[in-house]
């Protein structure tokens, strides 16, 4: 992995689909974007931040999630997802993450990813 400095940021905009609502997961009538879906968006945003730093046959995997779900998010409305590198310890990268919609913070917290050798990682049982 190439070096990454604390403070490095990545931002992306997405439109969450109805398929990512709590109702779609079985929570009948709750037509808001589910907590697991938003966590997934933040994990992918974090991965996309560090992906350009990978050497050949490297990938990243999530190792920790510490999140506060602060408000409802709705399908079909743009959502902003942000990740910022806080610390780097060897192959472990801790990031500050945040999702917002229509100017309101929906979710914030921290996420840690580990950069792995994909060949070795996939052969472990």
Enumerate domains of the chain plus CATH numbers: 9-123 (3.10.129.10)
Structure tokens at 56: 């050949």
Q: Measured between alpha carbons, how far is 64 from 111 in angstroms, rounded to an integer? A: 6
Q: Measured between alpha carbons, how far is 8 from 124 in angstroms, rounded to an integer? A: 31
Q: How far is CA 19 from CA 55, 92, 104, in A?
A: 34, 32, 22
pLDDT tens-place values along the chain, 125 residues long: 999 999 999 999 999 999 999 999 999 999 999 999 999 999 999 999 999 999 999 999 999 999 999 999 999 999 999 999 999 999 999 999 999 999 999 999 999 999 999 989 999 75
Task: Look at the block and give the residue holding tokens 């959502």.
Answer: 79
Query: Beta 92-101 vs 79-89: how paired, if at all?
Result: antiparallel
Query: pTM of this prediction?
Result: 0.94
| 96 close to 84: Cβ distance less than 8 angstroms | yes
């Amino acid at each position: 992995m190439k070096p990454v400095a604390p403070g490095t940021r990545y931002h992306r905009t997405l439109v969450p689909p109805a398929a990512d609502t709590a109702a779609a997961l079985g929570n009948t009538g709750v037509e808001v974007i589910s907590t697991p879906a938003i966590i997934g968006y933040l994990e992918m945003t974090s991965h996309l931040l560090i992906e350009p730093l990978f050497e050949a046959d490297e990938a990243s995997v999530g190792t920790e999630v510490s999140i506060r779900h602060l408000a409802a998010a709705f399908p079909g409305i743009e959502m902003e997802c942000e990740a910022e590198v806080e610390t780097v310890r060897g192959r472990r990268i801790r990031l500050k993450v945040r999702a917002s919609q229509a100017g309101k913070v929906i979710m914030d917290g921290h996420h840690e990813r580990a950069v792995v050798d994909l060949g070795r990682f996939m052969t472990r049982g």
